Amino acid sequence: MLTHDGTRVAVYDFGGTGADLLLLHATGFCAGVLLPLARHLGDRFRCWAVDLRSHGRSDPPPDGDFRWSGFADDVGSTIAQLGLDRPFVFGHSCGGAAAVLAEESEPGTFARIYCFEPVVLPAEPPPVEVADNPMSARARRRRDTFPSAADAVANFAAKPPFRELDPEVLRLYVDEGLTPVPADEGGDGKAVRLRCRRDHEAAIYAHAALHGAYAGLPAVACPVTLACGSRTDSFGPEVLGLLAARLDRARIEVLPGIGHFGPLEDPVLVATSVRGAFPETDTPEP
């Protein structure tokens, strides 16, 4: 489907029965890695997911603008075109920020929000210049091509953070997050490369501190769960506490034994937390 700014994004129906739940992935990943999470929520929710722009099967923004307001456009356009009425939403890392930005741009978009370590930096005002950062530099250095899907799995399984992922999630990342190298670009029918291109991922990270979601948190109209892993090295309880202080209805949950990539490390544990955070009803709470 097309967003308001003309970006083509891929949307997935993961099935299930109950209230609508939109799933949003982290930077560099894709909707497919959230399929195991959706499977463990399908008895309570109809699960939808979207490849955010430049990820998975979605296109990069046609104007080359990687400001995170584009992710909010992806989310809002998906909800509008699917005809969802105040769905629940789960967002991981960048996906959590996308959910918050979408709600801030149109309060009342969601019934409830569950953010696992959202990339919302507690700084106001945000920086006014795009500054490169270590995450951008790391993205540019990523290996992006592999002789085969099997080689990609073996490569990722040997290094952090991918070696911590649930094996099924890792396989889905390779199956859905990589694509065959075209023959006219040297592909031999087996070689694969990242769908999220290195320069695009670097540009996304360069804008991570600039979106201003922290300043807009008081506009969020629905209850929010802010979760993190007990082993995180990213957005832990202290940061989440600063975010919660600006929200009208917020709760914090620390999940044991997982880190920043917790939803991909232990989908069952995170699904259990999501179920507890959202009311057991098909009717969104006002």
pLDDT > 70: what percent of the chain?
95
Tell whether 181 is covered by a domain.
no
| Strand blocks (E) in the chain | 11-15, 19-24, 45-50, 88-92, 113-116, 145-146, 178-180, 192-194, 224-229, 250-255
Contact of 88 with 201, CB cutoff 8 Å: no
CB atoms within 10 A of CB 259: 20
Among the listed residues 205, 1, 178, the one whose alpha carbon sits nearest the alpha carbon of residue 93: 205
Q: What is the pLDDT of residues 91-120, one digit of tens each?
A: 999 999 999 999 999 999 999 999 999 999
Q: Is the pLDDT of residue 170 over 50?
A: yes
**CATH code where residue 15 lies:** 3.40.50.1820
Q: Is residue 182 part of a domain?
A: no
User: Is 137 inside a domain boundary?
Assistant: no
Q: How many CB atoms lie within 10 A of CB 74?
A: 26
> For residue 115, is it within any domain?
yes
- Structural domain of 233: 11-129+209-277
Alpha helices by DSSP H, listed for 184-236, are 198-206, 213-216
- As for how many domains the chain has, the answer is 1
Q: Is residue 52 included in any domain, yes or no? A: yes
Decide: residue 189, CB within 10 A, 0-12 exposed, 13-18 middle, 19+ buried. Answer: exposed
In a domain, 2, yes or no: no
pTM of this structure:
0.96
Give the tens place of pLDDT for each residue, 229-286.
Answer: 999 999 999 999 999 999 999 999 999 999 999 999 999 999 999 999 998 764 444 4
Q: Are 174 and 156 in contact (CB under 8 A)?
A: yes
Within-domain flag for 22? yes
- Structure tokens, 269: 């544990």
pLDDT of residue 130 exceeding 70, the answer is no
Q: In this predicted structure, what is the pLDDT of residue 285? A: 45
The answer to whether position 33 is within a domain reads yes
pLDDT at 66 over 60: yes
